[in-house]
A and B are shown apart, each in its own frame.
Chain A
Amino acid sequence: DAGVTQSPTHLIKTRGQQVTLRCSPKSGHDTVSWYQQALGQGPQFIFQYYEEEERQRGNFPDRFSGHQFPNYSSELNVNALLLGDSALYLCASSLLSGQETQYFGPGTRLLVL
């Protein structure tokens, strides 16, 4: 049973560019949440997708957008990259109806130069 997978593992971009990160949830899960974790900080919630729609959103600008596909996988897009967007981007999957926790993928480390 595969856990949460993310790609790519590492990425280097320059300011102003756009980036797309990908996530496949744990088998049986229907909800995907994205978090940004800056160095030395806890993860910060970006948004959550369920049934291909954005269900909940944290305090992030519109430059951050996402998508969920019919197979429950998800993408995170960031436009007009800033130096401050450099972070570990974590995807977490869960069952919307369950009380259980979210399970995290290995993350994508993004460096913006």
Chain B
Amino acid sequence: GQNIDQPTEMTATEGAIVQINCTYQTSGFNGLFWYQQHAGEAPTFLSYNVLDGLEEKGRFSSFLSRSKGYSYLLLKELQMKDSASYLCAVRPNQAGTALIFGKGTTLSVSS
């Protein structure tokens, strides 16, 4: 079966750093994606990892270890607008095919 696990909820304060973990067990692997989803809105793409290591994009970084089936999303200098659900998704098959999503992690940032 296909399984993606991530914590249900996390809280943090403005200016802090938060790490959202994701573990996966899928039939194949052809990339891991992180999306941000504000309440009532569509998911928006944050990052993509297909090789092991860290990808940095401004305040957001994502890490992948394929041997461990593990990824994390690191958010630095948190802002109130970062309060959202963060979705971890794996593409188990070749390029262009469907994504399998975790249930999402709801992050609440307080002042």
Q: Are B45 and A106 in touch, CB under 8 angstroms?
A: no
User: A92–B44 Cα gap in the complex (Å)?
Assistant: 11
CB within 8 Å for A42 and B95 given contacts A103-B45, A106-B42, A107-B42: no
Decide if A105 is an interface residue (CB 8 Å cutoff): yes
Given contact pairs A42-B4, A43-B87, a sample of 7 additional A-B residue pairs in the complex whose CB atoms are under 8 Å apart: A35-B101, A95-B96, A98-B96, A100-B48, A103-B45, A104-B44, A105-B42
Residues in B lying within 8 Å of A, measured CB to CB: 4, 31, 33, 35, 40-45, 48, 50, 87, 89, 95-104
Pairs across A and B, CB under 8 Å, 23 listed: A33-B98, A41-B104, A42-B89, A42-B102, A42-B103, A42-B104, A43-B101, A44-B101, A45-B99, A48-B98, A50-B96, A56-B98, A58-B98, A94-B96, A96-B95, A97-B95, A98-B96, A99-B95, A101-B48, A104-B35, A104-B42, A104-B43, A104-B44
